[in-house]
Structure formats: structure tokens, C-alpha cells
Amino acid sequence: MEKVFLGMLISAADDEVLKTVHVVLDFIGYAHFETHCDEPVAELDWAWVAFHKLKGIFEDMEIWKHFNISKIHNIKHYVDSIHSWGTTDGFNSKPSECLHIDFTKLGYRASNKRDYTAQMVQWLTRQEAVHQLTSYLQWAMPHYAVQQDEASDADDDNDEENELEDEHEEEGAEEEVPTYQIVKMAPFSKTVISTLAHKYKAPDFLYHLQNFMNTQSIAP
């Protein structure tokens, strides 16, 4: 879209507006270079300075009220960042988005939504322990890597299903995916089946429990 911005504004906007848009597009173009030397970095800095000299036209024409915007302030540091860390082509939100899913979304889903921060920390600690054990097993037993790949594929499928479920919930879909939830701390532990059948009026509990375990291939 940036490639057509300037062409769309020709004969439709003031010349000063065109100059401002021009230097902004120059800045964006130089910032996307995959390699840099002193010349393009100097041009990048010039485009930044020129933008600040020309941006007042938007305020004068009441197109925009002010430029006290954090993102505009942040690009002031692009030149120093390039000198310190190199080109900016690798700076995007993809890594942080992936980490947000791995470290936040999955941990939150594993909690019972109460005091979830502590549960998420505990979940991450256990995931790290599992990862370390898996790495050791892959080193000690080469064939374990194949089994782990299969498990990873299954996890990926589950993640895709969870994402689809979230999309359906956001869209207000009426179709519901069956899920099972159990409490982590049972309020009445060690309750015998006969008590469930008589005191809690669930005479068919044992039958349905056995049927559920059979359908889920759970060994008694």
C-alpha cells in the first residue's frame, strides 16, 4: 500500500503534504534495508530530520492535532539502534507473539482461572522440567526422538483445535466443543461409590464411569 500512497495524493493534496509523505516513505524504505553502510544511514537520519521540519503542515491544515505519539518518538532512535545492533529487518512482533502463546495463553488455559498467575508460573516450571527430561531422553535414546515428533504433531493439532475454539467463541458461534473439567482439589476426597449412589442420588454413577473409561481407553 505504501507504494501507491504518493501517487494517490498527487493533485489531491498540498505540495507541503506531498513533501512530508515523501520523506516518510523514504525513511520507511531506508529502515527496511537488509544491509547498511554510512550512506543509507545518513539518508535515514536526513529523512527523520526533514519529517520534523515539514510535519507542521498537518497541524496548520488541521489534518492532525499533535504528534505526541510514542511510535513517532521511537523512530528517533533508529539510527543509534542500527549502529548498535545492525539492520532492523529482523525486528518484528512475531517472536514476542509466539512467546505470548507459549508462555501466557497455554499456561492460562491450563489453570482454573483463579489465582492464575501462580498456576501459570508452576505450569511453566513443569514444562521446562519436561523439556529438559525430553532433551536428555533424546540424547540417551535416539529412537525417542521419533516418538517425540509424533507427540509434537499431536500437540500442534491440539493447538490448532484450541485456536479454532477461541475463534468460534469470539465470533459467538453456537456450536460447542465438548470438554471435560475437574477440580484440582476435591472438596470431598476418598468418597466411596456407595455414598455417591445413595447420599448424592447417583445410582448409575459406577455404570457411567466404567462406560466413560472404556470409550476413552482408560485402564481401570
Contact predicate 38/46, CB 8 Å: no
Contact predicate 186/195, CB 8 Å: no
With cell 512530508, the residue in question is 20
Same structural domain for residues 165 and 193? no
Length of the chain in residues, anyone? Answer: 220
What is the per-residue pLDDT across 97-107, written as a single tens digit (0 to 9) for each? 777 787 888 88
Is 90 part of any domain? no
Same structural domain for residues 204 and 130? no
Contact predicate 56/66, CB 8 Å: no
Which set of grid coordinates corresponds to residue 105? 495463553
Same structural domain for residues 102 and 64? no
Same structural domain for residues 139 and 192? no
Same structural domain for residues 194 and 155? no
Contact predicate 7/22, CB 8 Å: no
Low pLDDT (below 70) residues in the chain: 90-93, 145-180, 219-220
Q: Rounded distance, CA 205 to CA 212, Å? A: 10
Same structural domain for residues 81 and 103? no
Is 77 part of any domain? yes
Is 112 part of any domain? yes
| Domains: count for the chain | 3
What pLDDT does 2 receive? Answer: 78
Contact predicate 51/23, CB 8 Å: yes
Same structural domain for residues 77 and 136? no
Same structural domain for residues 111 and 77? no
Same structural domain for residues 204 and 175? no
What pLDDT does 180 receive? Answer: 65
What pLDDT does 164 receive? Answer: 52
Same structural domain for residues 105 and 141? yes
Same structural domain for residues 135 and 162? yes
Domain of 52, in residue numbers: 2-85
What is the per-residue pLDDT across 55-64, written as a single tens digit (0 to 9) for each? 888 888 888 8
pTM listed for this prediction = 0.41
What pLDDT does 138 receive? Answer: 84
Secondary structure (H, E, C), the chain? CHHHHHHHHCCCCCHHHHHHHHHHHHHHHHHCCCCCCHHHHHHHHHHHHHHHHHCHHHHHCCCCCCCCCHHHHHHHHHHHHHHHHCCCCCCCCHHHHHHHHHHHHHHHHHCCCCCHHHHHHHHHHHHHHHHHHHHHHHHHCCCHHHHHHHHHHHHHHHHHHHHHHHHHHHHCCCCCCCCCCCCCCCCCCCCCHHHHHHCCCCCCHHHHHHHHHHHCCCCC
Contact predicate 44/79, CB 8 Å: yes
What pLDDT does 147 receive? Answer: 47
Which set of grid coordinates corresponds to residue 210? 466404567
Same structural domain for residues 118 and 69? no
